[in-house]
Amino acid sequence: MNFNSISRLNGEIILPGDKSISHRSVMFSSISNGKNYIKNFLMGQDCLSTIDCFRKMGVNIDIWKNKDVIVNGVGLRGLKKPDNVLDVGNSGTTIRLIMGILSGQNFKSTLVGDESISKRPMKRVTEPLKEMGAKIDGLENGNFAPITIEGGNLKGINYKMPIASAQVKSAIILASLYSNSSSKIIEKSKSRNHTEIMLKSFGADINVDGLEIDVNPVDSLYPQEIYVPGDISSAAFFIAGASIIKGSEVLIKNVGLNPTRTGILDVLKDMGGNFEILNKEVICGEEIGDILVKYSNLNGVTIYGDLIPKLIDEIPIIAVMATQAEGQTIIKDAKELKVKESNRIKSVVENLKKMGADIEELEDGMVINGPTKLKGANIESFNDHRIAMAFSIASLISYGNTYIKNFNCVNISFPSFCDILKRISY
């Protein structure tokens, strides 16, 4: 797909639902006892993979007007052995969280995914789940898909997490619902807590105290009505675009503002960004609000430590913003980027270099010196949705044409990205 520079971004936008929350809404609804209504569900390929997996295990799921979903939950132990493999496509959240649920089922099933999923490490999930009693096999000692799981007879776990990962944490929490004793999970650093918030509303017995999470087994979950807020990870592209394109002003409505996800706003504030949060409220336990962003002169910052999990998916677009900031931006402690949909340290550095940015790759991040006038280039998306979208924003401030290869991968998390971008571009 081709992109050219524009003069400004201007307008009001409403985003599709949050990807992390959409996945969880279908998963938890499927194992609840009764009918669940989900509003503003993200109809991206990843979340559709989750729906597909639960349908294959006998859950009746209806999609309404391409936005709302009704899930007829079958109960914690009511899933059926699928006739075939469960295909998670490109979705890391699907494969890792579903392993927690499958660990509690009395049947054997196999999880497969696309080329990217097959390269992503799974031991971080399979090891604690095996310790709890699940029988799991996978390539290279359970580290890579295809993964075969046979669950049942789980015991609680006391687990100190070696990495900050909401996917790992969530898989263990889900398996803990099925265990015969309580579990304690100690996080390395606070990661997104949508599982804890949502499962509590379904009636799970979860107590959080700082980095410690205690989970007691339960007999059943109660069905819910869930509103999925707009995805801050999708908002990030417009937040960054409006901040770096002169004369821009964008109002992004109903964005999820859970503090475990708003690292990009903390960074933008430090960079001297011009934004305001309006109409803040709490829906289904999640903070929500509108974000009004205007262009401003940015300065470089250092991003590290506990802030990293709060913006891990936004680093590609933050790197693009940093090329327009005065001075140096250092991003470190972000080794996890190497095992996302692509190696995002390499994907960002390689592509920004092609556009003429002053950027250096680090073992656990990158260093960017700005500001630089970017030039159009042939960009490799590496089939990674967040790379494709980050570089489409970079192209809007570049001179010359930019071509982004395999741009269709944006459908993974944000099928309406181009329509929205076109509508507010001048």
- The active-site residue, picked from 270, 313, 333, 419, is 313
- Least distance (Å) between residue 115 CB and ligand S3P: 18
- Least distance (Å) between residue 166 CB and ligand S3P: 4
**Is 192 known as a binding-site position?**
no
> Nearer Cβ to ligand S3P, position 87 or 196?
196
Residues 6+ apart with CB under 8 A from 156: 132, 176, 179, 180, 181, 182, 183, 184, 215, 217
> Nearer Cβ to ligand S3P, position 90 or 398?
90
**Is 92 known as a binding-site position?**
yes
C-beta of residue 44 within 8 angstroms of C-beta of residue 412 = yes
Structure tokens at 309: 């999990």
Distance in angstroms (rounded) separating the CA atoms of residues 113 and 134:
21
Distance in angstroms (rounded) separating the CA atoms of residues 42 and 142:
30
> Nearer Cβ to ligand S3P, position 40 or 170?
170
Determine how β-strand 327-331 pairs with β-strand 302-303: parallel
Residues at the contact surface with ligand S3P, assessed by CB under 6 A:
20, 93, 165-167, 170, 192, 312-313, 336
- Least distance (Å) between residue 312 CB and ligand S3P: 5
Task: Give the SS3 label for residue 229.
Answer: coil
Structure tokens at 413: 């998390």
Taking CA atoms, 270 is separated from 303, 393, 426, in Å, by 10, 21, 28
**Residue 339 Cα to chain centre, angstroms:** 13
Across 375-409, b (16+ Cβ under 10 Å) vs e yields: ebbebbbbbbbbbbbbbbbbbbbbeeebebebbeb
**Is 24 known as a binding-site position?**
yes
- Least distance (Å) between residue 267 CB and ligand S3P: 16
- Least distance (Å) between residue 341 CB and ligand S3P: 8
> Nearer Cβ to ligand S3P, position 311 or 357?
311
**Is 20 known as a binding-site position?**
yes
> Nearer Cβ to ligand S3P, position 367 or 412?
412
C-beta of residue 246 within 8 angstroms of C-beta of residue 8 = yes
- Least distance (Å) between residue 232 CB and ligand S3P: 12
Give 303's Cβ-side CA count (13 Å radius).
33
C-beta of residue 114 within 8 angstroms of C-beta of residue 89 = yes
Task: Assess whether 18 carries a catalytic annotation.
Answer: no
Distance in angstroms (rounded) separating the CA atoms of residues 321 and 315:
10
> Nearer Cβ to ligand S3P, position 167 or 425?
167
**Is 165 known as a binding-site position?**
yes
Taking CA atoms, 72 is separated from 29, 78, 83, 87, 216, in Å, by 7, 11, 20, 21, 24
Task: Give the SS3 label for residue 414.
Answer: coil
Task: Give the active site residues.
Answer: 313
Annotated binding site: 19-20, 24, 92, 120, 165, 167, 313, 340, 344, 386
Annotated binding site for phosphoenolpyruvate: 19, 92, 120, 167, 344, 386
Annotated binding site for 3-phosphoshikimate: 19-20, 24, 165, 167, 313, 340
